[in-house]
């Protein structure tokens, strides 16, 4: 474990002591899948990030979406829950077999 103590004046944190802790052991691993959405003739590429394993309390980590590029229309970004749902319900999803 790395612990760093900062004595730095920052806005809204004047004269406060800040401690940053970083565990150097990996907490979990992730599998990144590439995908895209075709919308009005444009392809918007994304990564679907699937963390493996569970936390110490047995909770599964949340699946996330990251876009390749910053300029993605709001309508497309709003499809994130549908992308994740489609991923979780894919036929070869081994997590269904475990439950």
Q: What is the pLDDT of residues 18-75, one digit of tens each?
A: 788 888 888 789 999 999 999 999 999 999 999 998 888 999 899 999 999 999 999 9
CA distance 41 to 97: 37
Which candidate, 61, 65, 10, places its Cα nearest to that of 32?
Answer: 65
pLDDT of residue 99: 46
Domain region containing 88: 26-98
> Domain for residue 91, yes or no?
yes
Arithmetic mean of pLDDT, 74-84? 95
In a domain, 3, yes or no: no
Specify the number of domains making up the chain. Answer: 1
Total residues found in the chain within this entry? 99
Residue 55 in domain: yes
From CA 17, how far away is CA 99, in angstroms rounded?
45
Cβ–Cβ < 8 Å for 26, 63: no
**Does the pLDDT at position 2 exceed 50?**
yes
Tokens found for residue 77: 């970004």
Q: Residue 80 pLDDT more than 60?
A: yes
Residue 94 lies in a domain: yes
Residue 41 located in a structural domain = yes
The per-residue pLDDT for 9 is: 55
- Indicate whether 11 belongs to any domain: no
**pTM metric for this prediction:** 0.65
């Amino acid at each position: 474990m790395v612990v760093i103590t900062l004595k730095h004046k920052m806005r809204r944190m004047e004269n406060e002591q800040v401690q940053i802790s970083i565990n150097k052991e990996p907490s979990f691993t992730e599998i990144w899948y590439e995908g895209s959405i075709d919308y009005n003739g444009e392809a918007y590429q994304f990564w679907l990030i699937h963390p493996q394993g569970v936390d110490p309390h047995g909770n599964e980590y949340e699946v996330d979406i990251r876009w390749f590029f910053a300029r993605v229309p709001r309508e497309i970004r709003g499809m994130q829950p549908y992308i994740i749902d489609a991923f979780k319900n894919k036929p070869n999803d081994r997590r269904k077999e475990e439950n």
